[in-house]
Amino acid sequence: MSRFKILVFLLAVGIAGSVLAAAYWYYTRVLGHETVVQGQIKKMQGKHTSLPDPGVRRFDEAMEFINASNYAEGRKALYRLLDSFPETSAGPEARRIIGELNMDMLFSQEANPQRKDYIVQPGDSMGLIARKNQTSVECIMRANGMLSTNLQPGDHLFVFPLDFEIVVDISSKTVQLWRGTREKGYFFKEYQALEVRLPPGMKAPAETVIQAKSAWHNGKAVTSENPLFISADKWLVGHKTGFNLRGLPKAKPLVDKTTTPSQPAAATKGKSKGGSKAANKVVDDDDDDGLAGIPETGVFLAREDIEELFTIVRTQTKLFVAR
């Protein structure tokens, strides 16, 4: 009996020893290895080392085409770069260069396949021609180097359609133009917003359209025929109240509650009993305090960016707001 007990005891000790040996092997070979690897990773992170960005090499290859004046191939290479490596550090610069190339092609007589010659007919006006050709008055004037909207029957004008969609990304504060649609078109150009502020009740994602285009000088609306139009504050007015694309103005107009949301009136420096008289007053141009005195909501852009958008965006253009 005692021998049997001794045998059982020795068997139990053997099993326990085997378990401990297996546990030791697992710890040293598996857990220990993972600990070493994690330590090496932390050490590498401490030295700010990172894997090479393959997009940078693709970007350099695209720039070789552009520097050799092969803009078409360079543009294609940049598009391939963004498609293959959307998170590359070269992405912002690639989008900027694509945008500049696309704008040059849009107004080029040779590179724009949609460009056509339009002969002015009796009774034509710039607005009528723009509507018939799905373009804008400002685009026609820029494409033809015009300083006036005066026309004569028989005049030749270069025209081309403007078929864009706008995407405002709140998180990155960017405004993207897409040619055609986002689903079936292609990225055209990106602008960096100075500020994006949604009006009350508007939440992203949202969809709206450009309801109107307006230009304001010292609180008064001006048309493209007016010499003051060049220096006027441009607005792309969204269908949703308070959601406009615009620049930081010299004179800071406010939305006059007695007018429609698409017609901003001038700001005043004090209270006035006469609403219409107050609307004719303006803030001094040198009284510049950033975003103060202008609508609290909307998408605020650099003046040169809103000028460009104002030229190539038509009313009823779709606008999407993304988170």
Angle at alpha carbon of residue 246, lines to 240 and 247, rounded to 5°: 160
CA–CA gap between residue 260 and residue 239 (Å, rounded): 11
Query: In the predicted model, is pLDDT for residue 170 greater than 70?
Result: yes
Query: In the predicted model, is pLDDT for residue 65 greater than 50?
Result: yes
Least confident among 44-53, 175-184, 298-307: 44-53
State both tokens at 100: 């500049």
Query: In the predicted model, is pLDDT for residue 270 greater than 70?
Result: no
Share of the chain above pLDDT 90, in %: 57
Mean pLDDT of 190-200: 93
CA–CA gap between residue 264 and residue 253 (Å, rounded): 6
CA–CA gap between residue 63 and residue 101 (Å, rounded): 12
Mean pLDDT of 62-88: 96
- Beta-bridge mates of residue 245: 236, 299
* Sequence ranges of the domains in the chain: 54-106, 116-159, 196-317
- Check residue 227 and give its pLDDT: 86
Mean pLDDT of 232-237: 93
CA–CA gap between residue 245 and residue 299 (Å, rounded): 5
pTM beyond cutoff 0.85: no
Mean pLDDT of 248-252: 54
The rounded mean pLDDT for the chain is 80
- What topology does CATH give the domain 116-159? Membrane-bound Lytic Murein Transglycosylase D; Chain A (3.10.350)
Share of the chain above pLDDT 70, in %: 70
Closest CA to 276 of 286, 287, 263: 263
144 touches 133 (CB < 8 A):
no
CA–CA gap between residue 53 and residue 291 (Å, rounded): 38
230 touches 205 (CB < 8 A):
no
- Check residue 281 and give its pLDDT: 33
- Check residue 11 and give its pLDDT: 59
* Structure confidence by residue, pLDDT tens digits, 80-118: 999 999 999 999 999 999 999 999 999 998 899 999 999
- Check residue 6 and give its pLDDT: 60
